[in-house]
Amino acid sequence: MDTNLRSRILWLIGLILVYKVGVHIPTPGVNAQALVELFNTRNSANILGLLNLFSGGALSQLSILGLGISPYISASIIMQLATIMFPPIEQLQKEGEHGRRQINQYTRYLTVAIAIVQGFVISSQLHGQVSPTSGQAIFTETGLASTSLMVLLLTTGAVFTMWLGEQITERGIGNGSSIIIFVGIASSFLSGVNKLWVAFKGDQINIGTVIALGVIMVGVVAFIVYMEQGYRKVPIQYTRRVVGKNVYGGQESHLPLKINGAGVIPAIFASTILFFPATVLSFIPYEWAKSAAQNFTPSGMLFNILNVLAIVFFCFFYTAITTNPNDLSDNLKKSGGYIPGIRPGKATAEFLDAIVTRLTFSGAIYLAAVCVLPTIMIQAFKVNFYFGGTTLLILVGVALDTISQVQAHLLSQNYDGFLKQARMRGRKAYS
């Protein structure tokens, strides 16, 4: 292992440890035990449960890093969409490194704004709440000063988590934001396994159920790996160009188009939007609100139908924004490439658009199946933790991306070593 890769791995481990320490630092004025009891008894199928899952349980402790990386992820997605929808921001992106830095700065400002809103909503909703088990109040102090302090601490924690993510991206391995989400979900996964073991020891579930859940998870992971690694190869032929005595081009290549070009973003969008009604209804102290909230849980039929429709919609919407067949056609034409049997220009754009549409439909069905079917089966087994296909999709996707970056570093190391040996041999031969 080369020194650079070893240094990056050590930086990654160190920054993750810093994040895990921050997760367990509580905010002042909070009854941690009462808050945990509230989260354990309240339905986790809402936005608070989703944020708590992504933060590795930090929100259920209301630690200083309770919001996790979610505000930065939301700001990044909004800026990515704005880059396509608003010409001034799109122009910034085309200005090279200066434009990207400006967009990153806007993303940071938006992260602070989102963190303030989320912190205010969470602290306002939890003020006045009591533990349904012990009857103790969540907050030891109430009032504007207590709420302001809570918002300030949560916002500061979100900004610090954003900084950690950027440092992991710059000094470590992989995408920092994705790594932090991976760590949070992995922590929640271990907690879920512990709950499953406690339920098994208490004879609440039998060994057959445990084996069935294990088989389902292994099967889903294998299916995700297979689909995430799959892509359609569009053959590309480059024209031959003669410059003096040299001949350029003429080689064959291919344009790889992924089956799931939208990634996990459609699933996150769909879950976030559909959890809004359950979150609002869970704070209304009436029986009709509780009954209505059951329709917006992963076990509800209405939730799963709307979830499938939302995933399909966001798959097409996000792919249409990020993958432009006209741009692909223009880039091929500028580089002297063409698809055999297809005329350059409009015909190539239409051909690529048809392929992207078919792949997007297949990817949408795959995402919907992964996100909905495991959740339904887990609910059927009466498992007391929410860990469905969306979380498995994120875990596997981040793991594959990190492994590919490690392989790229190793390949770069071998390539540099090969060039160094070639230069040394060259100097020796001509000395």
Residues 287-346 pLDDT 10s: 776 677 666 666 667 777 888 888 898 888 888 877 888 888 888 888 778 888 888 888
- For residues 154 and 346, give the distance between their C-alpha atoms in angstroms, rounded to a whole number: 51
Q: Give the residue among 363, 353, 356 at the shortest CA–CA distance from 312.
A: 363
CA–CA separation, 164 and 20 (whole Å): 11
- pLDDT at position 418 is 46
pLDDT band at 109 (very low <50, low <70, confident <90, very high): very high
Verdict on whether the full-model pTM lies above 0.85: no
* Rounded (5°) CA angle 200-282-386: 30
Structure tokens at 357: 């549409």
Residue matched to tokens 């994040």: 19
Contacts of 388 (CB under 8 A, 6+ apart): 298, 371, 374, 375, 378
pLDDT of residue 403: 85
Query: Which of 258-267, 350-359, 402-411, 419-428 is modeled with the greatest confidence?
Result: 350-359
CA 272 – CA 275 distance, rounded (Å): 5
Task: Determine contact, residues 133/37, Cβ cutoff 8 Å.
Answer: yes
Residues 6+ apart with CB under 8 A from 165: 69, 72, 175, 176, 177, 179, 180
CA-to-CA separations, 109 to 75, 102, 118, 120, 227, in angstroms, rounded:
9, 11, 14, 17, 36
Pick from 58, 199, 204, 212: nearest CA to 122: 58
Structure confidence at residue 94 (pLDDT): 76
What is the Cα–Cα distance from 306 to 300, expressed in whole angstroms? Answer: 10
pLDDT value of position 431: 33
What is the predicted pLDDT for the residue at 301?
74
How many angstroms separate the Cα of 65 from the Cα of each of 42, 180, 190? 21, 12, 19
For residue 424, name the pLDDT band (cuts at 50, 70, 90).
very low
